[in-house]
Structure 1
Amino acid sequence: MAQAFTIDKHGQESLDEYLEYKRIVGDDDNGRLFTEAEYEAYKKKWIPIRMKNRIYVAFHNSDRDMDCKLIGPQTPCFCGHRYINHKTDFEKVPNPIKQPCRNCVCDNFHFIPKNGSQPIRCTCKHFPDDHALKHPYGCKKCPTGPKKCSEFKGSFTCDCGAAVYKHIMVKETKAERIKRGKPVGHDVPYQAMGGITGFSSLAPGVDRLDPSGIGPSSAGGGAPIQPGDHPFLKMHAQSLPDRKTPQTQQLQRREGESDMEYFERLYKWKQKTGYFLKN
């Protein structure tokens, strides 16, 4: 039987410092912890570059102008490795933006969704593992000839209602994303953040009730921030819109209202007021 163990305050602080270190450094230390001097030199070089040249990555439905999947550090690529295993830091942003994998021959990060926990099939009936690791990901199992599968074409339907093959990978700078009217969130020093700008970024595009992607907004209604709320909310409390207007009071959760009842009421309000068309 496993024994329970506790971590004292000093141990918790050390754990927090290590997690912060890994979010910043990732695998750039090649498995050997940087010395304090090396760590400071690494941060001095790369954090300003990340603030300036962050690459926002999304699996995008062009027909609906929707980012169906915002890519984060642990998002898997077609090659099977994670986004954080690909090149994400650029001293000078290339054009076009290509993000090769550091662990295999994959020459550019490309997201492919799954059906639950299972990989989806190509229209040739084979899995991604049966295809080449470079675009256009031709099938290695299909026989040669005029009908040979020359590209991976997933017909699986995304949450947005469109087939996977009708989506594109969007890789853009902060300025380009702002020009498209998409959220950029707050500048952070962490590696491989991609399109993640807040908690709501983890939800599929069709479920992202808060279009800002950086937490509760006046349109989302939420209750006022309290001392016991999550540190992320308290940290950005000053940047959140005023919640004391009649509209935001009306949209706050009612006493005894369940999550589903609240979100359904919020969704109906957005439909009625034309919120989706304006945003």
Structure 2
Amino acid sequence: MDCKLVGPETLCFCTHRYKQHKTDFEVIPKDRPICVPCRVSHCQCKSYHYVPLNGTQPIRCRCKHFADQHSAAPGFACNLCSKCSGFHSSFTCGCGQPTYTHETVVETKQERSALGKPVGQDVPYAAMGGLTGFSSLAEGYMRLDDSGIGAPSVEFLESPVTNMDHPFLKAFQGPSSSAHVSSQLPGSSIDAMQVSHVRNSKQDDMAYFEKRYQERLKKEKPAKQEGRSPLPSKNP
């Protein structure tokens, strides 16, 4: 699974973007892995190396220093301490594996096609990387194409809607015997109330909000009656 598809604006370990690296070749190198060196002046980066972010912050090495506090030269030694033998982070990726088990792979269009992975159309833009569409911006565990986790199975898509599914699915499912049975199960009244909040296409806006308002009044009425205390008796 491709956990991350690199695009033009994706940062490298050297803190420069992918589009600032050498991505265009007149002749594709035969050596593997393909090196994509940084073109920024005085940068020591020899090849693009992706490093994930923790939100908007760089991740930490086992030496407790951030990734951008390490050298971009091969080996990625720490600039602030001498005990660090190289950047090594146990930050967990969305796939469930730590960062140090991942590697940055540069593939050609022919190589990806041979592996059955999606490829984009030829475009006159440099440094497009692995972006083939909007779905490429998502993490690997959320992409449903062959580069990600893959499409759900037919059994999963055709499985019947159960009482544990989202009320939206239960509201728009076709009439079935399971719908009548679920109304007798414990907690079905809560589910029915949630389903009734889904707007029907045949109702206009005023009728929809009026229905919601009446449902809220019915829920608040018992609470108000319980909160009333009897008047104190005047008889001694």
Q: TM-score range by the shorter chain?
A: 0.5 to 0.7
**Within 5 A, what are the aligned runs for 1:84-99?**
84-94=19-29, 95-96=31-32, 97-99=34-36
Q: How many positions carry a matched residue from both structures? A: 153
In structure 1, stretches of 5+ residues that fail to align are: 1-65, 214-218, 221-246, 252-258, 263-279
Identity of aligned residues (%): 58
The answer (yes or no) to whether the contact 1:108–1:134 under 8 Å persists in 2 is no
Q: Please state how far the C-alpha of 1:91 moved relative to its aligned partner.
A: 0.7
Structure 2 alignment gaps of length 5 or more:
159-165, 170-236
Question: Which one-letter code corresponds to 1:182 in the other structure?
Answer: K
TM-score (norm 1): 0.51
Superimposed CA distance per residue, residues 8-44 of structure 1 (whole angstroms, 9 cap, x where no aligned partner)? xxxxxxxxxxxxxxxxxxxxxxxxxxxxxxxxxxxxx
Larger Rg: 2
Selected match of 1:108 from 3, 23, 47: 47
Q: How far did 1:128 drift?
A: 1.4
Within 5 Å, give how 1:27-106 maps onto structure 2: 66-94=1-29, 95-96=31-32, 97-103=34-40, 104-106=43-45
Aligned to 2:94: 159
Cα distance, 1:260–1:83 mapped onto 2, change above 3 Å:
farther
- Paired residue type of 1:98: C
For 2:68, the equivalent position in structure 1 comes to: 129
Shift of 1:210: 3.5
**Contact residue 35 and residue 47 of structure 2 kept, 8 A:** yes
1:155–1:165: 8 Å Cα contact kept in structure 2? yes
Paired amino acid for 1:167: H
Offset at residue 260 of structure 1 (A):
11
Contact persistence 1:138–1:150 (CA under 8 A): yes
RMSD: 2.4
**CA distance in 2 between partners of 1:212 and 1:153 (Å):** 26
Contact 2:77 2:85 in 1 (8 A): yes
Q: How does 1:14-33 map to 2 (within 5 A)?
A: none
Normalising by the residue count of structure 2, what TM-score does the alignment of the two structures yield?
A: 0.60
**Aligned counterparts of 2:119 and 2:136: Cα–Cα separation in 1:** 11
In 2, Cα distance between equivalents of 1:127 and 1:261: 43
| One of 144, 147, 150 as aligned partner of 1:209 | 144
